[in-house]
Structure 1
Amino acid sequence: MAAPNRRPARGAAQSTIPQLSWREPQPAPIVLVSGPEEVCAERAIAGVRAYLRAEDAALEVSDLRADDYVEGTLFAVTSPSLFGEPRMVRVQSVERCSDPFLSEALAYLESPQAGATVVLRHTGATVRGKKLLDAIRSGIGGGVEIPCAAVKRDADRVDFAIGEFRTAGKRIDPGAVRALVSAFADDLAELAAACQQLIADVPADITEQVVERYYGGRVETSAFTVADTAIAGRYGDALIALRHALDSGADPVPLVAAVALKLRTMARVAGTRESSRELAARLGMKDWQVDRARRDLSGWNEKTLAMAIQATARADIEVKGASRDPVFALERMVTVIATRAPYGA
């Protein structure tokens, strides 16, 4: 049941046990699911269960909490049953584990039960249970680790979405990935659900038009529509898009944030001569994001870009309470960006 050796994941260099991708989990006597990203952790644990269930449909699954632990429970649920069915024990809240659990888990590592898979979930929110984690990572118990690092950067969310479709064997256009990630920029669980919905509902390739049809009402999608049209210099279209977004209930704050994100990307790319691949690697972006930013820079120069960034910074302050009229603040920002001239000029 032991998993094959893999190269240690980033941030786990001191671990001597195999490091597995959460997309390709495998069982072992001890499976440590570490890190803060719950979406990935849930997938990993579900994957281990599916793997074991495929091997034997009679799998017994038990759930424990390490912070509300009754002494003796771990040994009881991992002990062989009368008919010898395989057992899987899912243990939550190891980062808040009680002393009795810690003591019994350390003892269990010394002699894991045959036919049992114990999955330990530790978010890394505290150092509680470090002694247990160190023991597992040293190889005691014959375990594997599935790191679930936080998905924070836009590039990480893009990788996540692409991975969802690649795993399902479906193609998605780069523009569709961008639109999808923009629509669910603040919630990885919703992004994951949206990807799965498109995978289930759409038999053909996923295009930007498909994403717009499904999720065009999302505030963030409307925000990037405003940003795209303003940066392209389409003044009238930008004002119409802004009004539509506001009428649809969009919050001014994420609207400004979407514009600021695009302008910052343009500023980072402006004036560089590296290839898209080299620049993307250095900036932590995707090749197509660099290409898009370079296209957006058409017609812009250092002076107009600086003016647009200043106008956006002013709007950001005003929509967060410094102005009594956030709509006017948005309209002035869009005007400066779309006309590439000072307001009222």
Structure 2
Amino acid sequence: MAAARSSRSTGTRGRGKTASVIAQVSWREPRPAPIVLVSGPEEVCAERAQAGIRNYLRAEDPALEVHDIRADDYESGLLLALTAPSLFAEPRLVRISGVERCNDAFLKEALAYIEQPQEGATVLLRHTGSSVRGKKLLDAIRQGTGGGIEIACPAIKRDSEKHDFAMGEFRAAGRRIAPTALRTLVSAFADDVTELAAACQQLIADVETDITDEIVERYYGGRVEVSSFVVADTAIAGKHGEALVALRHALASGADPVPIVAAFAMKLRGMARVAGARESNSALATRLGMKEWQVDRAKRDLTGWNEYSLGLAIQAAARADAEVKGASRDPVFAVEKLVTVVATRQPFGG
């Protein structure tokens, strides 16, 4: 377990936080140590990390004892009692939740415990980062006291982060999914990473072949229809009627015109950035600060477009953006005009 220590600093973890010198371990590849700090707000990643550590330890010894306690409702002496060796010296895993709300009794005993962890015991502490409570304990662990490791679970918020998360789900399972199918899946569950994870796992479990656009549509078509990106993708592909139908479904499902226009603007900007470029996708992605899949998608989206039509669409998106944000009394009509210009690649009414 001593190998979990790292002599290289990973840098500060934000203003006022102590630089970490312990090993940083991916939540996708968790491993045990005397002290395991699972930090950050992304609960689906934290749950995977905790389950992974339990499975790792149980594979080493099926006699593993697992105990769950709460740091905010802690009773003195409990940590030592649960980590102490039993008569037959079975390995012990003690999972402690709510460290960000810990009471004084827990904080005092946890600080003392990490100075001399019990042999054969793994103590896992879950801190969401929602408060600074327990900071003294976290700082001590990050400085190497107790021979611990940290598994960071930062929030997954941006589209690129959600895309990387979903791609990681399929890659970890050794499965392949079409880039467009992945994009559709991510946009369908853009509001909830937990639901996105569940959708990925369902496809992995149910589908034996490579996962295509048709498969994602069959499973999650009802959700996909209300996606802003589906409206934009359909219009950019030149499918005017289908794009208007998708727009109506999106609006009927409660979608707001503002993010729909934002989806158009983002995709059109990406197309404009790669238009005419002769570099490889990887080189272009590095130069433009884009993901390689984004470059590939933007290039494919450019099929059938030219400099004039792309400029026309970008102008229409800028006009629609102003209109849905207050410059027009009818934001829905503003989006309909944008869909028509993009899908037909002609001026509205032209």
TM-score of the alignment, normalized to the shorter chain, above 0.5: yes
- Structure 1 gap segments, 5+ residues each: none
SS in 1 for 2:68: strand
- Per the alignment, residue 313 of structure 1 pairs with 321
TM-score normalised by length of structure 1: 0.88
- Per the alignment, residue 164 of structure 1 pairs with 169
Distance in 2 between residues matched to 1:175 and 1:99, nearest whole Å: 51
State the superposition RMSD in angstroms.
2.7
How far 1:5 sits from its partner (Å)? 6.0
SS in 2 for 1:22: coil
- Structure 2 gap segments, 5+ residues each: none
> Is residue 2:178 matched to residue 1:173?
yes
Residues 313/270 of structure 1: CA separation in 2 closer, same or farther (3 Å cut) = farther
* Aligned 1:1-345 pairs, distance under 5 A: 1-4=1-4, 14-219=19-224, 222-246=227-251, 249=253, 251-253=255-257, 254-269=259-274, 275-297=280-302, 298-301=305-308, 303-314=311-322, 316-317=324-325, 323=329, 325-345=330-350
Residues 112/88 of structure 1: CA separation in 2 closer, same or farther (3 Å cut) = same
How far 1:155 sits from its partner (Å)? 2.1
- Is the CA contact 1:8–1:19 (under 8 Å) kept in the aligned structure 2? no
How far 1:286 sits from its partner (Å)? 2.2
TM-score normalised by length of structure 2: 0.86
- Is the CA contact 2:341–2:348 (under 8 Å) kept in the aligned structure 1? yes
Q: How many residues were matched structurally?
A: 341
SS in 2 for 1:91: strand
Q: For 2:306, give the aligned amino acid.
A: G
Residues 308/267 of structure 1: CA separation in 2 closer, same or farther (3 Å cut) = farther
How far 1:54 sits from its partner (Å)? 1.2
SS in 1 for 2:96: strand
SS in 1 for 2:24: coil
SS in 2 for 1:218: helix
Distance in 2 between residues matched to 1:111 and 1:84, nearest whole Å: 18
Residues 43/281 of structure 1: CA separation in 2 closer, same or farther (3 Å cut) = farther
- Is the CA contact 1:33–1:41 (under 8 Å) kept in the aligned structure 2? yes
Q: For 2:67, give the aligned amino acid.
A: S
Residues 132/267 of structure 1: CA separation in 2 closer, same or farther (3 Å cut) = farther
How far 1:71 sits from its partner (Å)? 1.9
Distance in 2 between residues matched to 1:98 and 1:265, nearest whole Å: 50
Q: For 2:339, give the aligned amino acid.
A: V
SS in 2 for 1:216: helix
